[in-house]
Structure 1
Amino acid sequence: MGDAFKCTLCDELSKTPKQSLEHYRRVHLKLLKFKCTHCAKSFETLTQLKVHKLEEHNIDERFKCNACDRTFFIKGLLKLHMDAYHMMGERVKCSLCDYETYSKMKLHTHEVKHKTSKDFHCTYCKKSFLRNNTLRLHERIHTGDKRKVCAECGQAFVQKASLNYHMAKYHPSVNF
């Protein structure tokens, strides 16, 4: 295995530093904090435990969106989904046309489409942006410049929103 990461406590070889860290935590630190109450198995994440319960014990602990058919293993992800797509309450209206929605995020995305002057152009692809800082953030996708790093597992992200999604999905017990 070329460029392998060797565990300092045993002969385990991993392809990535993240896999090496996961091995260390799972095998040597015994960080399996989510235990199944129906059998002897333990898991590193709540999502892994819930998938196990669904597949092995036919226990469905998913959170269902009342506005559509989507389901989530983590309550926080359902809340993010509800806020983004089904924000119940007062409808918000576009100031430039008749478009209406419950979601402020959807309205913002819609209103950006009205603005035609996208003066900031990506040097790597054909995308254009209204703001220079949005262009710079986008170009990190092409350059691999990932500045947002998960303190739990070391995975890196271009955007803070992606890191927050990762934390909610894979490390739900950690406050961030």
Structure 2
Amino acid sequence: MSASQVFSCSLCPFSYTAQIYLHKHIKRCHTDEYVRLLRSGEIRPETLAPSRSSNQQTQKPLTVPSRSTSSKVAPNPSSQQEGANDKRSHRCTQCGKSFTQEAHLKLHQRTHTGERPYHCTQCGKSFTQEGDLKQHQHIHTGERPYHCTQCGKSFTEGGSLKLHQRTHTGERPYHCTQCGKSFTQEAHLKLHQRTHTGERPYHCTQCGKSFTEGGSLKLHQRTHTGERPYHCTQCGKSFTSTGQLKTHRCTHTKEP
């Protein structure tokens, strides 16, 4: 296996350098999906086991309990859900959300407390997770450890590589249930859905005007602040948006 190969979880942003670590992550964090994969044969229990000595190899491998075929009672979906919820014994006292592991609960609680215990010694920026700090530090070191096997482009984090790979595969996994349009990123889908719902969650505190995305609000606020951060290197004229600067540059290059 190539050292640069990345195995990414389709249910959350985590990525791993080996498939066994991804499988263990699914078993630990996505129990229902793990059971489904076991039953479909996409994951075999023996692939999750560490190397065993010869006198241990005769032990029965991990199996998923199945219902008796002689039973005529159909499975109760609600009871199955209750069984799954029983495994999430660590509950947040702030919002009631529950987790399978205490470490996940502690990480979640930082969204309430604002605690960011991991600090970058280069710039002072702080993070809630050590992994986020390590990924951030790639900005300072220039390290880009995630490589695309298709074109060789490299990235500072696994999520960016996964997103980039969709430009090669054409994968658009996020679908609008209203019109069927599909997107490469969940954020793009959420933004699109506002065209159906009419939601405009970003509000200008100066005049009350609202927008569907934060970037549009930021651009609008410059009409109040007078900020013009984009400068022409030819004549020094400044603009509120990159689009305005690009249009202006055509006056120097004579491009249409």
Specify the TM-score bucket, using the shorter chain as the normaliser. Answer: 0.3 to 0.5
TM-score (norm 2): 0.26
With structure 1 as the length reference, what TM-score do the two structures score? Answer: 0.35
